[in-house]
Structure 1
Amino acid sequence: MMEWLRYGAQHYPNRKCINEYTYNDIYRGVLHVARNLVPLDASRVAILSDNSVTMAMYVLAAMLVHKEVLLLNVHLKLKEIENQLDQLGVTTVLHSKERRNQLSHFVDSEASNSIVTIEFETLESILSDLAVEDFFDWTFADADIAVIMNTSATTGQFKSVPLRWGQIKAHVQASQEVLGKTEQDNWLMVLPLFHVSGLSILMRSLYNGTAVTILPKYDEAQVLKLIESEQINMMSLVPTILTQLEPHITHHVLRVILLGGEFIPLALIDACEKKSLPIYKTYGMTETFSQSVTFSVLEYPHKRESVGKPLPGMQVRIDNPDADGVGEIHLTGPMVMTGYINKEPIDGDFNTDDIGYIDEDGFVYILNRRKDLIISGGENIYPKELEDLVYTLPSVKECVVVPVPDAKWGQVPALFVAFHDGKSLPPEDILAFMTNSLAKYKIPKYVKVLTALPRNGTGKILRNKLKFEN
């Protein structure tokens, strides 16, 4: 599948590939880096870096020399990095200059002399090599592992997801069928490349022969400038970011805003619909190489509460449905991983641990994560239902509902809420508002006002960090 880059260099060498660099530039840069990685005898290497053109080239070069590439989250602490390297038998870490200090322990410590750290070359040095030869094997078996991503469970113990070339190929083809493509496409990447949402943008764009604009991190002013100057027409965002961005988007030629990663408040969908912003809701996970269910809200406004239909080749099944058809969501298809590394292989389909249902038209609805479900006195309470309601209050900036242990009911819901500046509401007003719409057992027993909710590096709310001292 890496031949998408070589094909681009041969057939449209001067077309933009990443930022201002052409397919020919990136191809030559990848060859240069790959040549320097050939002597490494490790079958797996790790990469630690923030988003950059150089990082993208190192990821592609490591793939080209048939290494399994462990992408490390830059927010990890030293102990967590050591643990991940150790469990996956990785002894070589390629890293950006900016991340040198994070790895200084390995450089300075005699105890960790088994870990080799290699700093990225500068972009200028990589691209100044004009005589680089292509002697590489560009063919990859579907079962070969391209990338390893570790997903952290709530317990803090991570699971290692092997992303294989067959999954990636199936995904980029199906995604193109659903999202389409034009030669003008330029996909903004502000989500991390070490995360499946970032890597999938790179892979889709190479497959489509289109451009990517990589920013080191989310910068609202820069993103608005790119939108207004019509330099980009596609974006992948999490709802938190789009909520901040949407009020400022005026003139645009956006073709796709792929929106997922966490639950999407209906108030945000309303605001985007009013501006005809091309929202494609999406549902996926690392284990399925991101997006596996998608739809255009503008095309199907009456299905706005769903996350869409499965991509071509994917099937969604509801396991153990109740009388209303609600049950655990299971996925099958060529994008689904074969199993976590060093764990039992998946037999049949993949249990997402999400709860939802499928309507008569085949649209999938997610009610909640299984682990976020609140069972109070035997009644199921879906936090998302409560959160969607609270988000309809204009003064609410963000909110989350979590379970709190209760001697009588087992669990009761607690609401954490943050308001827009100067627009705070007293808790009793919020509860009175909710009482008009919800059964009594669903009304939060506790409300806590925060200035902001805790989030991880990709913008997801860290529910397990929210504790209520009652």
Structure 2
Amino acid sequence: MIRVKNSGNEFDKGEKMNWLKRYSIERPDKKFINDVTFRKVYESVTDLAKKLFSYVKNEKRVALYANNSVDMVLFFLALQFLEKEVFMLNTRLTDEEIKKQLKLLKVQIVFSYDNKFIPFNKVYKSQKQDIELVEEFDEESITVIMNTSATAGEFKSVPIRWKQFYSHVKASQKSLGVTDEDNWLVVLPMYHISGLSILIRSLYNGTSVIILEKFREEQVIELIESSRINILSLVPTMLNRIVDKIGKHNLRVVLVGGEFIPKSLVEKSIAKNIPIYKTYGMTETTSQVTTFSVLDYPEKIDSVGLPLEKVIIHIENPDKKGIGEVVIKSPMLMDGYIGKEKVFNHFNSEDVGYIDEDGFLYILDRRKNIIISGGENIYPKEIENILYVHPKIHECAVVGEKDDRWGQVPILYVVSSIDRQKILAYLSNKLAKYKLPKKIIYLEELPKNASGKILKKNLKEVN
């Protein structure tokens, strides 16, 4: 018996169906995850849901603690069939951080790939219960809860509902297109929106994904050059590690976002005819809100693209140059952080940027990253962009430091073999004097989160 639920009229009948159920019927033998077909995934998910029921029957919200794997996907989808809110735990957190987050979200039950919590293997060996499974999801129900990646501050819990995922996958499909041959690499962690959204898009499109537990350069290059994948999503630090090594390829889309994208990296990709799509978005907006093909608009290389369908972006409190705070209105936008006030359709991204005459969005920096020195605004991205052009600058980040005379001054953290004087000489011809770093700190590697984003807030701890 199938129980049907839907609280609104937004979805048309063909798309209200559970997509996994739909493609298990329409495309039973097509590979969905790695070498596993849609039919087999559907059978595995429904089987697992019946085993999970005895663990979660009295729970509204449960957690998953896992790295990327087929098992992780099966557990996530099986819990959807049981109408559970799934909190995705970052496996790089300390035990104390995990304890704090579980307590805050009132989560009692956690399933894990290892023996830290309830192991996946234990559930697989459990007895099945004879129960009804929800095979059409309520658009208002919370699908997943993700904590922001906290690159600059405290974690906030973002609930993402089916209605937001539905709006996202439709808009993304229109922006990126879809073919029957699409096979999307999932190497970004699925406990972040950048990774999980790939799975949801592919599920909606009825296309394939290849899931890797972590980013390994040679493995990714082999998948590219063998044409096993034709779409991948990466953060710039990942693309930078492989771009010079990519030979032949059949790539249709390389979606790059998640942090500042060095212009030199984009130019290098264009020279190799790698189809870079720059993108901009965040957990709160269910991933991307702007995207564009750099090969189609090379003159807009510094932009992060045009808004996706039904996304409205405006600049609040603009200065004389039109630069101000980037505010987003979108059906993909969260309703509000858990335990905090609602958003009411408008979300201040806390990024600073502008929109050009053609509607392309440009992001200058995070508002909290802007350095105000002697009354002048310094945008760290501008300095970083120049540095990344230099072939011997491997990683860099600029942050502000308090200064009695100027209020703040820029400090450069860098991974490089170039000495301080040469770096300053390189920058001095390209930047006003007040923008030059007042201190340069050398590191073997900059701190990053699981997605590869540089954690500027952690840099101040090594000073």
Matched, 1:416 2:413: yes
Moved more, 11-20 or 74-83: 74-83
Corresponding residue of 2:111: 94
CA offsets per residue over residues 200-244 of structure 1, 9 Å max, x none? 000000000000000011111111111111110000000001001
Unaligned runs of at least 5 residues, structure 2: 1-15
Contact 2:230 2:253 in 1 (8 A): yes
Instruction: Look up the equivalent residue of 1:388 and give its one-letter code.
Output: N
Q: State TM-score, norm by structure 1.
A: 0.92
* Residue 142 (structure 1) aligned with residue 134 (structure 2): no
Q: Counterpart in 2 of 1:437?
A: 430
Q: What does residue 328 of structure 1 align with?
A: 325
Distance 1:122 1:89, change over 3 A: closer
Conserved in 2, the CA contact under 8 Å of 1:414 and 1:468? no
1:364 to partner: Cα distance? 0.2
Give 1:134 deviation, angstroms.
Answer: 8.8
Aligned residue among 21, 25, 34 for 2:49: 34
Q: Name the residue aligned to 1:111.
A: none
| Bigger mean CA deviation after superposition, 45-54 or 222-231 | 222-231
Q: Post-superposition shift, 1:347?
A: 2.9
Provide, for residues 117-140 of structure 1, a one-character-per-residue CA deviation record: whole Å limited to 9, x for no partner: 4211389979xx9x9989422222
TM superposition shift of 1:37: 2.1
Change in 2 beyond 3 A, CA 1:338/1:124 = closer
Between Structure 1 and Structure 2, how many residues are aligned?
Answer: 446
SS at match of 1:171: helix
**Is the alpha carbon distance of 1:132 and 1:295 closer, same or farther for their aligned partners in structure 2, counting shifts above 3 Å?**
farther
SS, match of residue 98 in structure 2: helix
Residue of 395, 400, 420 corresponding to 2:397: 400
Match of 1:109 in 2: none
The question of 1:448 aligning with 2:441 is answered yes
3-state secondary structure, aligned to 1:261: coil
Find out whether 1:467 has 2:446 as its counterpart. no
The partner residue of 1:192 within 189, 209, 226 is: 189
2:170 to 170, 173, 195: 173
* SS at 1:38 equivalent: helix
Structure 1 CA distance, aligned partners of 2:302 and 2:243?
A: 19
Residue aligning to 1:84: 101
305-314 or 75-84, larger mean C-alpha shift: 75-84
Please list, as runs of the form range in 1=range in 2, the aligned pairs for 1:38-187 lying within 5 A after superposition.
38-39=53-54, 40=56, 41-97=58-114, 100=115, 103=116, 117-121=117-121, 135-153=132-150, 157-187=154-184
Q: Please say which of residues 151-160 and 443-452 is displaced more in the overlay.
A: 151-160
Equivalent position of 2:38 in the other structure: 23
Q: CA–CA distance in 1 between the matches of 2:122 and 2:202? A: 24
Give a deviation string over 1:245-297, Cα, whole Å, max 9, x none.
10110000010100001100011001100011010000000001111110000
Greater CA deviation, 53-62 or 220-229? 220-229
Does the 8 Å contact 2:289/2:308 carry over to 1? yes
CA distance in 2, matches of 1:206, 1:132: 26
The answer on whether the counterparts of 1:178 and 1:311 sit within 8 Å (CA) in structure 2 is yes
Distance, in Å, in 2 between the alignment partners of 1:375 and 1:89 is: 41
SS in 2 for 1:457: coil
Contact 2:388 2:396 in 1 (8 A): yes
2:421 aligns with: 428
- State the Cα distance separating 1:446 from its structure 2 match: 0.9
Q: Take 1:450 and 1:153, find their aligned partners in 2: how far apart are those partners?
A: 21
Corresponding position: 1:250 with 2:244: no
Q: Which letter does structure 1 place at the counterpart of 2:119? A: E
- Does structure 2 conserve the Cα–Cα contact (< 8 Å) formed by 1:31 and 1:132? no
Asked if the contact 1:28–1:132 (Cα under 8 Å) also holds between the matched residues in 2, the reply is no
CA distance in 2, matches of 1:17, 1:233: 14
Note if contact 2:311-2:328 (Cα within 8 Å) is conserved in structure 1. yes
CA distance change for structure 1 residues 154 and 293 in 2, over 3 Å: closer, same or farther? closer
Residue 212 in structure 1 maps to residue 209 in structure 2: yes
Deviations 1:392-446, CA, capped at 9 Å, x for gaps = 1111111111111111001000111112xxxx22211111121111111111111
**Distance of 2:360 and 2:287 partners within structure 1:** 18
Measured in 1, the distance between the counterparts of 2:96 and 2:221 equals 38
In structure 2, distance between residues paired with 1:157 and 1:436: 38
TM-score by structure 2 length?
0.93
For the Cα contact (< 8 Å) 1:400–1:417, is it kept in 2?
Answer: yes
Q: Over aligned residue pairs, what C-alpha RMSD do you find?
A: 1.9
Question: SS in structure 2 opposite 1:158?
Answer: coil
| Partners of 2:288 and 2:263 in 1: CA distance | 20
Q: Which runs of 5+ in 1 are unaligned?
A: 104-116
